[in-house]
Structure 1
Amino acid sequence: MKHSERVLFLDIDNCLYSPDLGISQMMKSRIYAYGREIGLDSDEVEETCSTYFKDYGLTVRGLVLHHNIDPQEFNDKVDGSLPLEDIIKPNPLLRNMIESANARIWAFTNAGLDHASRVLKCLGIEDLFEGITYCDYTEPNFPCKPEKRVYEKAMKEAGVSNPQLCYFADDSAKNVEAALQLDWTAVHVSKQTSSCEHGYIAGEDNIIRCCHIETVLNLPQALPELFS
Structure 2
Amino acid sequence: MTPATPLPSEAPQANPRDLTAFADVDTWIFDLDNTLYPAHADLFAQVDKRMGDYVAKLLDLEREAAHTLQKDYYRRYGTTLRGLMMEHGINPDGFLEFVHDIDHSKVEANPRLADAIHALPGRHFIMTNGTVAHAKAIAERLGIHDHFEDIFDIVAADLVPKPHADTYDRFWDLHNIDPTRAAMFEDLSRNLVVPSERGMRTVLVVPEGTREVFREAWELEGRSAPHVQYVTDDLAGFLERILTER
Per the TM superposition, whether the score is higher than 0.5 is yes
In the alignment, which of 61, 74, 79 is matched to residue 82 of structure 2?
A: 61
Superposed, 1:3-152 pairs within 5 Å as 6-42=26-62, 43-79=64-100, 81-84=101-104, 86-136=105-155, 139=158, 142-152=159-169
More contact order relative to length (CA 8 Å, sep ≥ 6)? 2
Deviation at 1:190, TM superposition (A): 0.8
Deviations 1:47-71 (A, max 9, x none): 1111110111000111122223221
Deviation at 1:196, TM superposition (A): 4.9
1:180 matched to 2:196? The reply is yes
Matched-pair contact (CA < 8 Å) for 1:133–1:157: no
In the alignment, which of 171, 185, 192 is matched to residue 154 of structure 1?
A: 171
Matched-pair contact (CA < 8 Å) for 1:8–1:167: yes
Tell me which amino acid in the other structure corresponds to 1:49. Q
Deviation at 1:103, TM superposition (A): 2.5
Closer/same/farther in 2, CA of residues 50 and 137 from structure 1, 3 Å limit: farther
Q: Provide the aligned C-alpha RMSD in A.
A: 2.5
Closer/same/farther in 2, CA of residues 60 and 22 from structure 1, 3 Å limit: same
Closer/same/farther in 2, CA of residues 227 and 144 from structure 1, 3 Å limit: farther
| Residue number in structure 1 paired with 2:10 | none
Deviation at 1:194, TM superposition (A): 6.9
Deviation at 1:158, TM superposition (A): 2.4
Tell me which amino acid in the other structure corresponds to 1:165. R
Closer/same/farther in 2, CA of residues 41 and 128 from structure 1, 3 Å limit: same
1-side partners of 2:127 and 2:44: how far apart?
17
Matched-pair contact (CA < 8 Å) for 1:101–1:227: no
The residue matched to 2:230 in structure 1 has which SS?
Answer: strand
Contiguous gaps of at least 5 residues in structure 1: 202-208
So what's the TM-score if we normalise by structure 1? 0.83
Closer/same/farther in 2, CA of residues 35 and 227 from structure 1, 3 Å limit: farther
2-side partners of 1:98 and 1:57: how far apart?
27
So what's the TM-score if we normalise by structure 2? 0.77
Tell me which amino acid in the other structure corresponds to 1:166. A
1-side partners of 2:197 and 2:235: how far apart?
22
Matched-pair contact (CA < 8 Å) for 1:8–1:103: yes
Deviations 1:170-213 (A, max 9, x none): 1111112221122111100014787455x866xxxxxxx71010
* Identical-residue share of aligned pairs (%): 20
Aligned residue pairs total: 211
Matched-pair contact (CA < 8 Å) for 1:89–1:122: yes
Contiguous gaps of at least 5 residues in structure 2: 1-23, 211-219
The residue matched to 1:87 in structure 2 has which SS?
Answer: coil
Matched-pair contact (CA < 8 Å) for 1:102–1:227: no
